[in-house]
Amino acid sequence: MPNAPHSLSSRVHQLLLWKAGQNGTLLPDDESAIRAFRVRTQALGPGEDIVRQGDRPDVAVIVVSGMLARYHTLESGERQYISFHIAGDMPDVQSLLLTVMDHSLCALDTAEVGLIPHQELREAFSRQPALCFAFWRSTLVDAAIFRSALTNNSARASTTRLAHLLCEQYYRARDAGLTQDQSCSLPMNQTELGQALGMSLVSVNRALKKLRADGLVDLRGGILSVLDWRRLQQVAGFDPTYLYIADESEGSRLRLSGRGE
Amino acid sequence: MPNAPHSLSSRVHQLLLWKAGQNGTLLPDDESAIRAFRVRTQALGPGEDIVRQGDRPDVAVIVVSGMLARYHTLESGERQYISFHIAGDMPDVQSLLLTVMDHSLCALDTAEVGLIPHQELREAFSRQPALCFAFWRSTLVDAAIFRSALTNNSARASTTRLAHLLCEQYYRARDAGLTQDQSCSLPMNQTELGQALGMSLVSVNRALKKLRADGLVDLRGGILSVLDWRRLQQVAGFDPTYLYIADESEGSRLRLSGRGE
DNA sequence: CGCAGTATTGAAATTTCTCAAGCCGAGTGG
DNA sequence: CCACTCGGCTTGAGAAATTTCAATACTGCG
């Protein structure tokens, strides 16, 4: 019985601890508060919605595996992807304080999520400021990513724009320990990339072709392989500051830059 | 001696109370905590920067008068405006938890701001969860506005895009009590609008021309006049949900919709 | 093998950008 | 009082980028 309920939910606590730890310094009390959260888990199929624009959820989602996406649905029915989320991300903590969803959340591939009742979070945050600050901070990093996406989609030319998105995804996956060799999962087709970047499918295809031709990346079957990180970063004008990932540059797991080959 | 230090700083407290009250329910203790903040104020000239990308501020800004803007500076030197802020807004609370600024903050016209030491905020938030939640929520609304801008700049055609920005500015100004007749201040030229919308100056000019020709708005000398709110909203596909402004529809100061004339 | 979804490519249609010129109103100094 | 300047607005027109349309591959899977 793989992924028995117990082990999955402890994985959720693990991820919560990791995420909170990335966003602040936790005291033992804070950690035990997290461990005390009563979480449910849920499995999702590709394309499945978790919450929809207009919903008023009473739980917060944390990604355990797979990739989730936030998106807006326009009057026209058109879809605009807003952000992408991997293990450890909490794509809708904001629903704790903003009751109505202004966007939807779906799974891009098969995914598992943990669900934490708002009630539990509210109580824990009221009691333990450090915890509150950590989760607040994580939403602030989200916001920084939105800002970056706004600039990316508004001010960068198509190839650069695509390259920047790929940099971001790869860099974040790397931080979450989700890369192997120079590859990570990126379960989106070119249509969806277009809906994220504000470009047509055809433009995405052509931009990708260029990046591929220059030997920077390879993207196929939902797997992104970075062939020349240094140059990709250069082309994209990618500066990861806005991700607010402590890079502990010297001597640790994170040795991204300067690994062009 | 107009705008004596005392009256200006009490105006800051007033705005803080208003903003916090909009984002949560405050107890008397919370209110007195706010009133106890030791704030400084500062006057700014048009175009002047308050904080820059890369800075590590130790105070948070609240707008007292005038308009501020956040912006990114790209590698190329190009500028991308991210958001616009009016009285009561706190455009950089995030710096409390994200130490390094990923963007800059400047005044668009002459403006006054209040400065609240991070230290004071941190202490108050640690002690009073309701206060913390209120300010957290205000940053979440910010984030919702970023998402909306992302979608606007990525998925909407030029005229619609401009219309949407105008709707947002007008609606927010209205909520802050900064409209007179059907007008509010919008101290930006067409170049700057372009840098906000990801459009060239020429495109902005042509989009504006269309809106004007259709009798929807008039924008000149930094004053935006909304001539036909209903149709403007329609053209823009503007749905203010994402602003999370309690609209207390029946019988209050906010009677925006259905006032097409 | 054949289908369905996805990727790729060409080429016309459209939008947007760039370049360039002219206009307009406010402020300045002769 | 007027000529001049400066910033910002407006407009035309060719250049460039992007989108749209359409046809053709490719790939994993039943």
Task: Note which residues in 201-240 of chain B have CB less than 8 A from chain A.
Answer: 237
Each residue's pLDDT expressed in tens, for chain B with a length of 261 residues: 444 556 878 899 999 999 999 999 999 999 999 999 999 999 999 999 999 999 999 999 999 999 999 999 999 999 999 999 999 999 999 999 999 999 999 999 999 999 999 999 999 999 999 999 999 999 999 999 999 999 999 999 999 999 999 999 999 999 999 999 899 999 999 999 999 999 999 999 999 999 999 999 999 999 999 999 999 999 999 999 999 998 654 333 333 333 333
CA of B47 to C1' of D7 (A): 14
Judged against a pLDDT cut of 80, whether residue A256 lies above it is answered with no
Nucleotides of C under 7 A from a protein CB: 5-11, 15-20
Determine the residue of chain B that is closest to A140 in CA distance: B94
Judged against a pLDDT cut of 50, whether residue A259 lies above it is answered with no
Contacts of B149 (CB under 8 A, 6+ apart): A150, B82, B83
Most A CBs within 10 Å, among B27, B30, B95, B102, to test the A interface: B102
pLDDT of residue B4: 52
In this predicted structure, which of A52-61, A248-257, B209-218 has the lowest mean pLDDT? A248-257
Displacement of CA B245 from its chain's centroid (Å): 13
Residue where the block lists tokens 């355990």: A64
**Is A148 an 8 Å CB contact of chain B?**
yes
Output the six-digit token pair for A36: 């005390």
**Is B142 an 8 Å CB contact of chain A?**
yes
Contacts of B119 (CB under 8 A, 6+ apart): B58
**Is A144 an 8 Å CB contact of chain B?**
yes
Chain B hits for A241, CB-CB cut-off 8 Å, are: 100, 102
Q: Considering only CA atoms, name the residue closest to the C1' of nucleotide D8.
A: B189
B70 three-state secondary structure:
strand
pLDDT digits (tens, 9 = 90+) for B55-114: 999 999 999 999 999 999 999 999 999 999 999 999 999 999 999 999 999 999 999 999
> From CA A104, how far away is CA A50, in angstroms rounded?
8
Contacts of A7 (CB under 8 A, 6+ apart): none
More confident residue, A106 or A1: A106
Nearest to A133 among B97, B144, B237 (CB): B97
pLDDT band at A251 (very low <50, low <70, confident <90, very high): very low
pLDDT of residue A8: 79
Across chain A, mean pLDDT equals 92
Q: Are B216 and B162 in contact (CB under 8 A)?
A: no
CA of B80 to C1' of C1 (A): 54
Nearest to B150 among A140, A153, A155 (CB): A153
Q: Does strand C come within 7 Å of the CB of A186?
A: no
Contacts of B40 (CB under 8 A, 6+ apart): B9, B59, B114, B115
The minimum CA-CA distance between B74 and chain A, rounded to whole Å, is 8
Determine the residue of chain B that is closest to A121 in CA distance: B133
Nearest to A72 among B70, B76, B151 (CB): B151
Burial status of residue B129 (CB atoms within 10 A of its CB: 0-12, 13-18, 19 or more): buried
pTM listed for this prediction: 0.93
Span A6-20, mean pLDDT? 90
pLDDT band at A254 (very low <50, low <70, confident <90, very high): very low
pLDDT of residue B8: 79
Nearest to B80 among A82, A137, A155 (CB): A155
> From CA B189, how far away is CA A51, in angstroms rounded?
40
Judged against a pLDDT cut of 80, whether residue A31 lies above it is answered with yes
Nearest to A136 among B76, B136, B153 (CB): B136
Q: Considering only CA atoms, name the residue closest to the C1' of nucleotide D18.
A: A203
**Is A103 an 8 Å CB contact of chain B?**
yes
pLDDT of residue B246: 82
Displacement of CA A234 from its chain's centroid (Å): 22
The minimum CA-CA distance between B98 and chain A, rounded to whole Å, is 7
Q: Which residue intervals of chain A are DSSP H helices?
A: 5-22, 28-35, 118-127, 129-155, 158-175, 190-197, 201-213, 229-236
Q: Are B8 and B106 in contact (CB under 8 A)?
A: no
> Amino acid identity of B153?
N
> From CA A105, how far away is CA A110, in angstroms rounded?
14
CA of A204 to C1' of C11 (A): 18
Nucleotides of D under 7 A from a protein CB: 7-13, 17-22, 28
Most A CBs within 10 Å, among B151, B153, B247, to test the A interface: B151
Q: For a pLDDT cut of 90, what percent of chain B falls above it?
A: 89
